[in-house]
Amino acid sequence: MATFSTNEFRSGLKVMLDGDPCSIIENEFVKPGKGQAFNRVKLRNLKSGRVWERTFKSGESLEGADVMDRTMEYLYSDGEFWHFMEPDTYEQYQADKDAVGESAQWLKEGDRCEVTLYNDSPLAVVAANFVELEIVETDPGVKGDTASGGSKPATLSTGAVVKVPLFLSQGEIIRIDTRSGEYVGRGKS
C-alpha cells in the first residue's frame, strides 16, 4: 500500500493509524513563521466511528488503508450475518453486527446501500439516504386528519419504529430519511 505524506493529506483519504483504518476529515497546516510546521488532522476511526484530532509534524507519512466504498445490493440476513452482493460481479459479502450497526433497521431486501470494504471484507454499511418501508403495526388511521399535526409511533417491516402522522394505517408504504430517522412522506410504491 502507498504511503502518504502530510502534504498529501486531504479530506476522504484513508490511512492506517494505530493499526486501524481511519478516514481523514480535515487537515490544517499550522506553522509559526520562524518555527516548526505541524498538521492538525481530524480523523474518523472507521472501525469504532470515533472522531478525534491528532497532530503530526509536517513531513511525516502514514500508510494508506485498503478501504473502498462500494454500492451493493442487500440480499438477506441469516440472523448472524447480513449478506450483500456487488451488482456488476455478483460477488457476495457477509457483514457482521458491528459493521452493519444502526443501518440494520433500514435495510430492505433488494435495496442498494454503501458498503465500506477493508481488506476486502465489510467494515461499515450505510443505508441509502431515503428508503421506502411498509408499516406493519400502528394505531388505526384517523381518516381525513391531514392537518392536526399529531403523530404516533409506527413499526416498520424492518423492525424500526418511527413517528408518523395520524392519518397513516397499517400496510401503507412510507418514505424515511435514514440520516435523521424521520418520516418524509408516503412512498411511491
Residue 168, φ and ψ in degrees, nearest 5: -85, 150
55 scored as a contact of other proteins (CB under 8 A)? yes
Instruction: Read off the C-alpha cell for 1.
Output: 500500500
SS3 105: helix
Residue 20 and residue 133: Cα distance in Å, rounded? Answer: 35
Q: Which stretch binds other proteins (CB under 8 A): 35-43, 63-71, 128-136, 164-172?
A: 35-43
Q: Which stretch binds other proteins (CB under 8 A): 50-58, 91-99, 135-143, 158-166?
A: 50-58
Q: Which stretch binds other proteins (CB under 8 A): 51-59, 68-76, 99-107, 130-138?
A: 51-59
91 scored as a contact of other proteins (CB under 8 A)? no
Binds other proteins by CB under 8 A, chosen from 2, 12, 36, 88: 36
The nearer residue to other proteins, 7 or 146, going by C-beta atoms, is: 7
Q: Which stretch binds other proteins (CB under 8 A): 57-65, 86-94, 133-141, 175-183?
A: 57-65
Query: Could you tell me which of 25, 113, 18, 99 has the C-alpha nearest to residue 69?
Result: 113
The nearer residue to other proteins, 54 or 112, going by C-beta atoms, is: 54
Binds other proteins by CB under 8 A, chosen from 60, 96, 102, 139: 60
54 scored as a contact of other proteins (CB under 8 A)? yes
Radius of gyration of the chain (CA): 22
63 scored as a contact of other proteins (CB under 8 A)? no
**Is residue 163 a contact partner of residue 183, using CB atoms and an 8 Å limit?**
yes
Shortest distance (Å) from residue 123 CB to other proteins: 22
134-168 exposure pattern, b = at least 16 Cβ within 10 A, e = fewer = bbeebeebeeeeeeeeeeeebebebebebebbbbb
- Which residue(s) pair with 69 in the sheet? 116
Binds other proteins by CB under 8 A, chosen from 1, 11, 40, 163: 40
37 scored as a contact of other proteins (CB under 8 A)? yes
**Cell numbers 472507521 correspond to what residue?**
46
Residue 54 and residue 134: Cα distance in Å, rounded? Answer: 44
Q: Contact residues for other proteins (CB under 8 A)? A: 7, 28-38, 40, 52-60
